[in-house]
Amino acid sequence: MFRNFTPPGWLALVIAFAMPAPASGEWRTKKINDLTYVPLADFAASFAMTKGNRRKGDRELAYAGESHRLAVKTGTREVIVDGVRHWLSYPIVTNGGLPLVSLADINATLGPAMSPASVRQIKPVKTVVFDPGHGGHDRGGRSPYGDEKDYTLDVVKRARMILEAKDVKVVQSRLSDFFVELSERPKMIKNYDSPVFVSVHFNSAGWKPSANGIEVYALPPAGLPTTGKAPDPILDRRKDKGNAIEPASFVFANTMQHTLLGKMERSFDRGVKRARYLVLRYSEVPSILIEGGFVTNPEEAKEIHSPQWREEFAAAIADGILAYMALANEQRLPQRAWDHGRPPTDEFVWEE
């Protein structure tokens, strides 16, 4: 699909990120503050989406088609892609009344989220390496009922049993209550055949007990900022081992967030995010970090302490891994949260 418009002030740029229709398209682009932007309507059209009815505020825009939905709020980095919250590297901007999205975000987030099978870095998976967060002297977050380190280990053990019952090879960075150096955890992937790395945590925000919900992290691409932080000219340009496999890690994170939300219907959607956590930076295979709720939230703390809830959460994690493995091994597209019956995320939650 080629676009040959070159209105005044615009540059024609050919990009090639593997997606179905616009696999080799010519976008209208505009430079703003050294960043390259594309009209949001052009991106939406490449996935057969058209602008929908006006949303809740003047800055909110929605696009929809038979297969995809996209909602944005101009001036923010928050977007809702196919019913799940995501965080872009740069805000949606307007220029002459025209909403624009950065080309970097098309390539790193919007495109892969809508067309996961197109990501070339996705390779077959044979082993799951679980990393139960914290351990030993590192208790992690604390609730009135217990420590994060114990909850993560319990959830991993439960998820491991589910996966092994389906003949999936599973290993863990720790098997009991001891501490493993963060830099050592992803190193163990070298001992196993075609692995993925899954670090399991629970969130903590003692300064804000109302904070709640599930989020999944992947490493940001080299040169792009982390979620919730302004661009850093030094840290953002640092090259990490995980950068080589980052596109697959993002698809893994997106698949996991859709699955967790679909299975854990009552959980709030905090989104697919980007962070340079050490365990993600050092990993050379598709890697994600799950934050499964807040031990500092009174209601979620009670749930996390419940063995029944942890079993449900472990099953959801196992399903997310199996969904990514089906994509990697069989080219079977993963289900989205709404395929499980969950209503699409609809509210924008904050402005950065």
| 22 vs 143, higher pLDDT | 143
Q: Which residue has the tokens 């098309």?
A: 106
* Average pLDDT along the chain: 91
Residue ranges per domain, the chain?
A: 11-114, 127-340
The answer to whether residue 20 scores a pLDDT higher than 60 is no
The CATH number assigned to the domain with range 127-340 reads 3.40.630.40
Q: How would residue 58 be classed by pLDDT, with cut points 50, 70 and 90?
A: confident
The reported pLDDT for the residue numbered 75 is 95
Which strands make up the sheet holding 127-132, listed edge to edge? 50-51, 60-64, 69-73, 78-81, 84-87, 269-274, 214-218, 287-294, 195-203, 127-132, 169-172
Q: What is the mean pLDDT of residues 285-300?
A: 98
Q: Domain 11-114: which topology?
A: Copper Amine Oxidase; Chain A, domain 1 (3.30.457)
The answer to whether residue 136 scores a pLDDT higher than 80 is yes
Q: What angle do CA 260, 263, 264 make, to 5 degrees?
A: 75
58 phi/psi in degrees, rounded to 5 = -60, -30
The reported pLDDT for the residue numbered 351 is 55
The reported pLDDT for the residue numbered 56 is 79
Amino acid at position 320, single letter: G
The reported pLDDT for the residue numbered 175 is 97
The string of pLDDT tens digits covering residues 237-259 is 888 999 999 999 999 999 999 99
Q: What is the mean pLDDT of residues 5-23?
A: 35
Task: Return d(Cα 61, Cα 302) in angstroms, integer.
Answer: 37
Listed residue (221, 213, 205, 335) closest to 271, CA to CA: 213
Q: What is the mean pLDDT of residues 132-155?
A: 97
Q: Are strands 26-32 and 11-14 parallel, antiparallel or unpaired?
A: antiparallel
The answer to whether residue 83 scores a pLDDT higher than 50 is yes
